[in-house]
């Protein structure tokens, strides 16, 4: 139901193909988590917005360059939570992407994904 504001073509695709809808929900969750932790880092570490969002993305993507480590206790707690959530969400996104590719391959092999623009 989160995609009611999408164009009609996207809504049809997400309704007709559940793996795409699952993947879209996971990507939306990743983006919202990124924004929430960016704002939380801004408030906890008292740094600029660009550094806060960089820390958020760096931690959620589990890259962890270490160029802006958390200095405050609240920032360290946020880093632990964001790192754990990052592992969970990234794993779910990768797993969901694999399912989408398998679903498309199944549709192609079973003849359910034909090109309507070909002659014959």
pTM here? 0.73
| CATH architecture, domain defined by 12-109 | Orthogonal Bundle (1.10)
Burial of 21 (0-12, 13-18, 19+ CB in 10 A): middle
| Phi-psi category of residue 114: left, alpha or beta, with phi > 0 → left and psi -120 to 50 → alpha | beta
* Confidence band, pLDDT 50/70/90 cuts, at residue 5: low
* Percentage of the chain lying above the pLDDT 90 cut: 22
Min mean pLDDT across 21-30, 62-71, 99-108 is at 62-71
| Cα 49 to Cα 47: distance, rounded to the nearest angstrom | 7
Structure confidence at residue 43 (pLDDT): 92
* Confidence band, pLDDT 50/70/90 cuts, at residue 66: confident
* Confidence band, pLDDT 50/70/90 cuts, at residue 13: low
């Amino acid at each position: 139901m989160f995609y009611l504001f999408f164009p009609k073509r996207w809504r049809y695709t997400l309704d007709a193909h559940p793996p795409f809808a699952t993947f879209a929900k996971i990507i939306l969750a990743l983006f919202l988590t990124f924004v929430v932790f960016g704002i939380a880092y801004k408030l906890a570490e008292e740094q600029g917005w660009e550094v806060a969002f960089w820390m958020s993305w760096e931690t959620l993507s589990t890259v962890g360059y270490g160029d802006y480590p958390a200095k405050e206790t609240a920032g360290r707690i946020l880093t632990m939570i964001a790192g754990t959530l990052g592992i969970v969400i990234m794993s779910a996104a990768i797993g969901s992407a694999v399912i989408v590719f398998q679903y498309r391959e199944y549709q192609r092999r079973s003849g359910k994904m034909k090109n309507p623009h070909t002659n014959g």
